[in-house]
């Protein structure tokens, strides 16, 4: 079996932490949580929104079509679902950065940010969305930043 690279280990473990919480296994969840921290060793050369926007943009135009083709060819519907959500969320991430680069701090006046814990959708508005437009999770799955 091929092992995942170091830069996906923290994510794998934090996902397993959430899975263990859902299974009502707090001790196992805590261990996976600690592993997620232990293996969170990444760093970034990119240090501004312009650079971050390029990363998101390149992922959408270069990376996603490649993964999409692989998922299409084996008809993995779970992966296809993740790609549908992921591409929508990435497009929204990019658009938010674009709008911030244009308007600056004014963009957030009178508004709050909410993140859907199920799919990662970021909402910018006065109130929490009733339902997630990307994955249809209810308002209770959103956390306020």
Q: Which 27-66 positions form the footprint of other proteins (CB under 8 A)?
A: 27-28, 31-32, 34-35, 38, 42-44, 46-49, 51-52, 55-56, 59, 63-64, 66
Considering only residues 61, 70, 102, 137, which one is a binding residue for other proteins as defined by CB under 8 A?
A: 70
Cβ neighbours of 33 (radius 10 Å) = 18
Is 130 a residue that touches other proteins (CB under 8 A)? Answer: no
Is 91 a residue that touches other proteins (CB under 8 A)? Answer: no
For residue 45, the 8-state DSSP code is: S
8 A C-beta contact, residue 57 and residue 94? yes
Residue 112: phi and psi, rounded to 5, are -125, 165
- Go through 96-113 and write b for each residue having 16 or more CB atoms within 10 A of its CB, e for each that does not: bbeebeeeeeeeeeeeee
Considering only residues 91, 95, 98, 118, which one is a binding residue for other proteins as defined by CB under 8 A?
A: 118
Considering only residues 4, 61, 110, 126, which one is a binding residue for other proteins as defined by CB under 8 A?
A: 4
Is 97 a residue that touches other proteins (CB under 8 A)? Answer: yes
């Amino acid at each position: 079996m091929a092992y995942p690279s170091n830069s996906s280990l923290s994510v794998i473990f934090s996902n397993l932490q959430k899975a263990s919480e859902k299974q009502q296994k707090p001790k196992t969840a805590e261990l996976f949580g600690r592993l997620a921290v232990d293996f969170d060793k990444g760093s970034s050369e990119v240090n501004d929104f312009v650079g971050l926007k390029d990363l998101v943009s390149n992922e959408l135009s270069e990376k996603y079509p490649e993964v999409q083709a692989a998922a299409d060819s084996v008809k993995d519907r779970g992966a296809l679902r993740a790609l549908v959500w992921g591409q929508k969320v990435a497009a929204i991430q990019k658009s938010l950065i674009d709008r911030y680069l244009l308007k600056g701090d004014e963009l957030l006046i009178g508004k709050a940010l909410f993140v859907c814990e199920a799919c990662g959708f970021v909402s910018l508005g006065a109130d929490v969305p009733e339902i997630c437009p990307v994955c249809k999770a209810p308002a209770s799955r959103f956390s306020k930043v």
